[in-house]
Amino acid sequence: MMTFRCEKCNFCFESVGEREEYISPTYGPCFKYVARCPACDNICNEHRINLKKSDKGSCGCSNCSCGS
Q: Is 39 an interacting residue with respect to Zn ion (CB under 5 A)?
A: yes
Question: How distant, in Å, are the alpha carbons of 22, 28, 46 from that of 31?
Answer: 6, 10, 11
Does residue 12 interact with Zn ion by CB under 5 A? no
By beta-carbon proximity to Zn ion, the closer residue of 8 and 56 is: 8
H or E, element range at 43: strand 43-45
In the complex, what is the shortest distance from the CB of residue 5 to Zn ion, in angstroms, rounded to a whole number?
9
The rounded distance, in Å, linking the Cα atoms of 35 and 4 is 7
Check residue 14 for interaction with Zn ion (CB under 5 A). no
With CB under 5 A as the contact rule, the residue among 3, 4, 5, 6 that binds Zn ion is 6
> CB–CB of 39/47 below 8 Å?
no
Residues that bind Zn ion (CB under 5 A): 6, 8-9, 11, 37, 39-40, 42
